[in-house]
Amino acid sequence: MSLLPDRRVRDDWFHGLVPQCVDIDPQAYLESAYSFALCRAERAHAVRIERAAHVYSSSLFDLGTNAEVSIGPFAMLNGARLICESQITIGAHVLISWNVVIMDSYRLPPDPARRRALIERASAPLHRMVDPALPAAPVHLRDNVWLGFDVCVLPGVTIGEGSVVGARSVVCGDVSPYTLVAGNPARPVRDLPRPPRAHEVAP
């Protein structure tokens, strides 16, 4: 797709613009600029949506000032929420189902007193409920991953190539390539078949 000269999405129901920090390949599809209504990223090229990737309007990029997100070729986001303060990478041919949350930061501290102080300031204009002292941990989804609906991927997780995460699972640790995981916390269920290597394919 090509953005209109003013960075609107053609035939968009939402009247906002796609931020300048978002790079969209001409062959990618973005349903609505609303996906970036919560984008506060300030770095150049903070978001890269590559060739033939699809981002549907119920997907949200909830990005902090230093966020960096990449969406690989032929990836599909169908109603996901990306909460990013550092880095989220999504590989090629990744399928992300409805209501998936991928987060590289918890944003709020576990300490009740610090959390209460942030909540009490939440009504102030332009205040964000984010503790800047909390570290973020990048999240990586390798190629050909499939996340079922309502999955939550927590900070610091890498999901290996070709893996599948069952619906409503919470992924708090790395997932090995070509593994089916499910549950809360997500645990391995079984290995998945690997594609044949090039030298193993019959002529």
Domain 22-194 adopts which CATH fold? UDP N-Acetylglucosamine Acyltransferase; domain 1 (2.160.10)
Q: Token digits for 65?
A: 């000032």
pLDDT digits (tens, 9 = 90+) for 134-163: 889 999 999 999 999 999 999 999 999 999
* pTM, full prediction: 0.91
Task: Please report the pLDDT score of residue 107 as a whole number.
Answer: 81
pLDDT at position 174 over 80: yes
Report the percentage of the chain scoring pLDDT > 90. 78
